[in-house]
Structure 1
Amino acid sequence: MTETREKIAAGLERAFAAHGFAEPSVDDLRDSAGVSLRTLYKYMPSRGDMVIAALEHRHQRYLSHVLDGLPGDPQAARSTLIDRVAEWMRHEAAHGCLFHSAVAADPGNPALRALLERHKQEVADRAGVLTQLAGQQVALLLILEGLTQSWPLYGDQAVTAAKGLISMLATENP
């Protein structure tokens, strides 16, 4: 991704995370991206392209924040994984998953649904390997998604519950 495209995608991600997918006007998106309207459309010719670019940017940031550099010890990796998801929620996604929000805003869009599925699958697959819970990706994803969706209501209580659930999953599937 070129530096300009990356800058635009980052700005668009911030705008959609703050205002949702319906509210920001093209002028708002241009301002968030910090480029001219001509440059915005040069790199992303449609609003749909803007949404996809923002979500792709979000995907890479999430994977890096949550999964990169987890401890080598599986138990420590599990705890750190949950802590990092909680930190992400505190600072980046206090209202829930941006990928689910995008699909909810445009449920008939196959590209958005495919991106949501790819994002969740990559998170589950990488987390499964890094926590030594490979083969338990669905259960692991259910725990992570439960934390993400319950965070706005329960905050740290959700973190404690997720840590308990991931420990039980590890115990049941050594």
Structure 2
Amino acid sequence: MMDTRTRIAAGLERAFAAGGFADPSVEDLRDAAGVSLRTLYKYMPSRADMVLAALESRHARYLAHLFDGLPEAPEAALETLIDRVGDWMRTETAHGCLFHGAVAADPGSSPLREMLRRHKEEVAQRAAVATGLAGQETELLIILEGLTQTWSLQGDAVRGAKRLGHSLRTPEGSA
């Protein structure tokens, strides 16, 4: 069973994912969180806190979606990882990364920029370990981010991302 803060954060995540960061009113956010305004402000005293809590929720769900139960074989892990990013885009957000959206909505926020950095860094590090491509974190992140960022323009680009991922294992790709 989820604790209250986690449940509120999950509701806020859904609200911001659906309506962006500027549109939802505090009442909309309260309704999405399923709590009273007093309870919402008890756990998240400002809109900035609400956004960060929503991103923490998203971070945990995204990592679990990508990395829980990955195959142990590095090639299979790479294939599965890219498939899971595609699944995420199909089911969760076809219009891009919520973390980038948050920073775009408030570009001067150091906490948001740090959350974005931490999220992307952890995805890249875990992907490199899982796929046996340690030392190629940047390349993996470019592939995974490229897939999420081009989704709204190109649609399902999983096959292209897989080709790029496999090229990292060739001598030219690892240079």
- TM class by shorter chain equals over 0.9
Q: CA deviation at 1:142?
A: 0.2
| Residue 164 (structure 2) aligns with | 165
- Residue identity in the other structure for 2:167: M
CA distances 1:93-135 after superposition (whole Å, capped 9, x unpaired): 1110000000000000000000000000000000000000110
- Residue identity in the other structure for 2:59: H
Aligned length: 172
Counterpart CA distance in 1 for 2:56 and 2:30 is: 18
Within 5 A, what are the aligned runs for 1:10-159?
A: 10-156=10-156, 158-159=157-158
- Residue identity in the other structure for 1:161: G
Q: CA deviation at 1:56?
A: 0.3
The TM-score, its normalising length taken from structure 2, stands at 0.96
CA distances 1:54-91 after superposition (whole Å, capped 9, x unpaired): 00000000000011111011111100000000000001
User: What secondary structure, in the 3-state scheme, does the structure 1 residue paired with 2:170 have?
Assistant: helix
Give 5+ residue unaligned stretches, structure 2.
Answer: none
Counterpart CA distance in 1 for 2:61 and 2:134 is: 23
Q: CA deviation at 1:19?
A: 0.2
Q: CA deviation at 1:170?
A: 1.7
Counterpart CA distance in 2 for 1:171 and 1:74 is: 14
CA distances 1:13-57 after superposition (whole Å, capped 9, x unpaired): 000000000000000000000000000000000000000000000
- Residue identity in the other structure for 2:159: T
Q: 113-122 vs 144-153, which deviates more?
A: 144-153
Give 5+ residue unaligned stretches, structure 1.
Answer: none
Counterpart CA distance in 1 for 2:132 and 2:93 is: 27
Question: Root-mean-square deviation (CA), in Å?
Answer: 1.1
User: What secondary structure, in the 3-state scheme, does the structure 2 residue paired with 1:7 have?
Assistant: helix
The structure with more helix, counted as a fraction of residues: 1
Counterpart CA distance in 1 for 2:93 and 2:77 is: 22
| Residue 4 (structure 1) aligns with | 4
Counterpart CA distance in 2 for 1:70 and 1:166 is: 16
User: What secondary structure, in the 3-state scheme, does the structure 1 residue paired with 2:153 have?
Assistant: helix
Counterpart CA distance in 2 for 1:75 and 1:41 is: 46
- Residue identity in the other structure for 1:127: A
Q: CA deviation at 1:171?
A: 2.0
User: What secondary structure, in the 3-state scheme, does the structure 2 residue paired with 1:101 have?
Assistant: helix
Q: CA deviation at 1:11?
A: 0.3
Q: CA deviation at 1:155?
A: 2.0
User: What secondary structure, in the 3-state scheme, does the structure 2 residue paired with 1:71 have?
Assistant: coil
Counterpart CA distance in 2 for 1:162 and 1:154 is: 12
The TM-score, its normalising length taken from structure 1, stands at 0.97
